[in-house]
């Protein structure tokens, strides 16, 4: 019997950043360091910053949920990279927002800015990029039970900031798949994570280059 499509879709959405789940698939609260978070909040792109894209930006407080787990520990750095977070690596500040284009309601963009002390931002990038080569597919548990199958691949794209990776991730659970494309960039000690997902299961595409470039510029201005 084919699983309930709504339940299967929710399972396939399980890895998407919580900031997206609260909008298009279902969220938690952010309790990151206040002073750094304030600086990051001022650096978030606004609707006016990217008016030419047609996207409407709304800040969200749902970006700090737990990092998803991989069954194979060697593949965990991939999920850490795409989350811009890692278990046991405390952030000094985190803010998040969504960007939506009303004519394309199934396409949702999440923007997550996370700052780290002690060079941890670079460590998350380095480990994640290295793990992509050996973890094209892997599995992991999802909330509520069950498993998700992940297929991750680097995408050739423009470089951003001091270091960046563009990754296509297909998450499949209970016969339903969600495709998301991530651009994760490091600007000094801050990770900029921008993801575009089609929550109706479409092929998706890269996040708007104007949005990513403007977000990088605004983070550089506070670094």
Burial readout 133-142 (b: 16 or more C-beta within 10 A, e: otherwise): eebeebebeb
Domain boundaries, position 193: 5-222
Q: How many domains does the chain have?
A: 1
pLDDT (tens digit per residue) in 27-54: 333 444 558 888 999 999 999 999 999 9
Identify the band that residue 3 occupies on the pLDDT scale cut at 50, 70 and 90: very low
pLDDT of residue 119 exceeding 60, the answer is yes
CA–CA distance, 2 with 34 (Å, rounded to integer): 46
CATH label of the domain that carries residue 168: 3.40.1000.70
- Predicted confidence at residue 63, as pLDDT, reads 47
pLDDT band at 102 (very low <50, low <70, confident <90, very high): confident
Q: What's the mean pLDDT when you consider all of the chain?
A: 84
Residue 204 confidence (pLDDT): 76
pLDDT digits (tens, 9 = 90+) for 164-204: 999 999 988 888 888 899 999 999 999 999 999 887 777 77
pLDDT computed for residue 215 by the predictor = 96
């Amino acid at each position: 019997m084919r699983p309930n499509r709504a339940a299967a879709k929710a399972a396939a959405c399980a890895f998407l950043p919580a900031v997206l789940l609260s909008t298009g698939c279902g969220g938690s609260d952010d309790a990151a360091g206040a002073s750094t978070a304030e600086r990051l909040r001022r650096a978030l792109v606004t609707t006016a910053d990217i008016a030419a894209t047609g996207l409407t930006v709304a800040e969200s407080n749902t970006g700090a949920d737990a990092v998803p787990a991989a069954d194979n520990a060697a593949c965990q750095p991939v999920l850490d990279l795409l989350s811009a977070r890692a278990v046991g690596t405390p952030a000094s500040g985190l803010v998040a927002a969504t960007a939506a284009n009303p004519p394309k309601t199934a396409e949702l963009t999440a923007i997550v800015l996370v700052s780290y002390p002690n060079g941890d931002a670079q460590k998350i990038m380095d480990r994640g990029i290295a793990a992509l080569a050996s973890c094209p597919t892997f599995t992991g548990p999802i909330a509520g039970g069950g498993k998700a199958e992940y297929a991750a691949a680097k995408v050739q794209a423009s470089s951003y900031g001091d270091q960046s990776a563009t990754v296509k991730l297909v998450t499949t659970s209970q016969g339903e798949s969600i495709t998301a494309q991530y651009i994760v960039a490091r600007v000094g000690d801050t990770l900029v994570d921008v993801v575009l997902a089609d929550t109706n299961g479409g092929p998706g595409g890269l996040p708007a280059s104007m949005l990513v470039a403007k977000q990088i510029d605004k983070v550089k201005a506070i670094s």
